């Protein structure tokens, strides 16, 4: 079976021509896929019924996701979904909404997508990292998460404004499918989202960061640093190399020089682990005059023993960086109470679901 959501517009045209159809059929299909959200080929009414039948006979289909469970935050601004893929594999995706800047404008609607089922990186503070790795997701499965939320938003006369590859898994460990998904989501004849409205978050696969800088994309890059020295980072990120801190900073510089896009270093702040004044000063010295941005993320509670820092510690950590000339912010928290925040993508529902499957 070939999922129509896998085909780039140029590939869609080639398929249409090979089937003896006029070129404009490709645009009819693409419009339906990205603006009408059909669940099956039979729902693409713009196409003649005999051609719809031909597509099915030739092994084409629409691999839509199935919603298994939905949790919404009390303020209504964060929605976490458990979605079943075509093979019944469950993954989590999150919608985070922010109030519009104008009184009658649309809210900023950011979709946090997963790229892998589970994760092999094993970060000690991340719930997904403690799940282990099951498999990579295909580009059409990544796109399918966005489409599912796009339909929900469309019903409310709203639309997707941003996408972050910060869900389950390491995007750059599933490189080719992640890039194909971005191409599908940003193609003007596809989903049509601006490249600058997409951010890839990575734990730091150096070769993949360098490769990404050569893709001629204007996506944002967020590198999970979490420590100013290698000893501490290797404890937090078991897969980190012996000199990963320097390598990541150098890779960030190369990415900026190649793309012109400023790199964000993500820093999960953990009580008694990496939130001291001494470590803040070490981080400030490391990043001084670097030109990057630091996103401070107070640890979100997971099933582990690591704890969230106090509010005073967060403010002091930010103050030290700021006074040292480091561009930094404390991340606006979304979805903590429904376990939809950064590092929390593993719900009780998902754990229960996996137990039932096994």
Q: DSSP per residue over 228-240, as a string?
A: SSHHHHHHHSTT-
Per-residue b or e along 73-107, where b marks 16 or more CB atoms closer than 10 Å to that residue's CB: beeebbbbbbbebbeeebbbbbbbbeeeeeeeeeb
For CA atoms 151, 93, 294, 269, the dihedral sign is positive
Q: Please enumerate, as own/partner, the contacts of 315-321 that have beta carbons within 8 Å and a separation of 24 or more.
A: 316/277, 316/280, 317/269, 317/275, 317/277, 317/280, 320/277, 320/280, 320/281, 320/284, 321/280, 321/283, 321/284, 321/287, 321/294, 321/296
**C-alpha gyration radius of the chain:** 21
The neighbouring-strand residues paired with 298 are 269
* Active-site pick, 112, 123, 126, 342: 342
Strand (E) or helix (H) holding 249: helix 244-259
Which is catalytic among the residues 13, 92, 140, 177? 92
Output phi, psi for 17, to 5 deg: -65, -40
Cα(275)–Cα(267) distance, rounded to whole angstroms? 10
Q: What element of type H or E holds 66?
A: strand 66-72
92 in active site: yes
How far apart are alpha carbons 345 and 352 in whole angstroms?
14
Residue 218 has a CB neighbour count (10 Å cut-off) of 14
Q: What are the residues whose beta carbons fall under 8 Å from the beta carbon of 22, sequence distance 6 or more?
A: 16
CB atoms inside a 10 Å sphere around CB 286: 17
Q: Which of 201, 147, 213 is nearest to 174 (CA)?
A: 201
Query: Among this protein's residues, is 342 annotated catalytic?
Result: yes
How many angstroms separate the Cα of 37 from the Cα of each of 33, 78, 147, 227? 5, 22, 7, 43
**Catalytic residue annotation:** 92, 342
């Amino acid at each position: 079976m070939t999922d129509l959501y896998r085909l780039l517009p140029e590939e869609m045209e080639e398929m249409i021509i090979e089937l003896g159809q006029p070129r404009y059929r490709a645009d009819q299909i693409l419009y339906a896929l990205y603006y009408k959200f059909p669940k099956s080929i039979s729902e693409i009414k713009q196409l003649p019924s005999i051609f719809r039948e031909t597509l099915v006979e030739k092994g084409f289909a629409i691999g839509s996701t199935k919603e298994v469970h939905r949790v919404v935050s009390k303020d209504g601004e964060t929605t976490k979904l458990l979605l079943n893929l075509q093979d019944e594999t469950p993954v989590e995706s999150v919608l985070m909404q922010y109030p519009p800047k104008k009184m009658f404008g649309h809210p900023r609607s950011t979709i946090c997508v997963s790229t892998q089922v589970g994760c092999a990186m094993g970060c000690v503070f991340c719930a997904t990292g403690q799940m282990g790795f099951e498999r990579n997701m295909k580009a059409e499965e990544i796109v399918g998460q966005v489409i599912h939320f796009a339909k929900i938003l469309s019903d409310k006369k709203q639309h997707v404004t941003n996408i972050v590859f910060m869900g389950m898994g390491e995007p750059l460990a599933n490189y080719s499918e992640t890039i194909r998904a971005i191409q599908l989501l940003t193609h003007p004849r596809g989903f049509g989202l601006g490249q600058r409205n997409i951010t890839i978050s990575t734990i730091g696969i150096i070769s993949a960061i360098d490769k990404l800088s050569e893709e001629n994309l204007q996506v944002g890059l967020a590198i999970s640093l979490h420590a100013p020295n290698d000893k501490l980072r290797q404890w937090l990120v078991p897969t980190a190399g012996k000199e990963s801190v320097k390598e990541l900073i150098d890779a960030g510089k190369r990415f900026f020089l190649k793309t012109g896009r400023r790199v964000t270093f993500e820093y999960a702040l953990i009580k008694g682990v990496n939130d001291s004044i001494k470590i803040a000063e070490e981080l400030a010295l490391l990043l001084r005059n670097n030109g990057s941005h630091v996103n401070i993320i107070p640890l979100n509670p997971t099933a582990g023993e690591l704890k969230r820092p106090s509010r005073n510690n967060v403010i002091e950590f930010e103050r030290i960086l700021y006074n040292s000339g480091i561009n930094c912010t404390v991340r606006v928290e979304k979805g903590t109470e429904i376990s939809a925040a950064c590092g929390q993508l593993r719900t009780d529902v998902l754990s229960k679901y996996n137990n039932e499957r096994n």
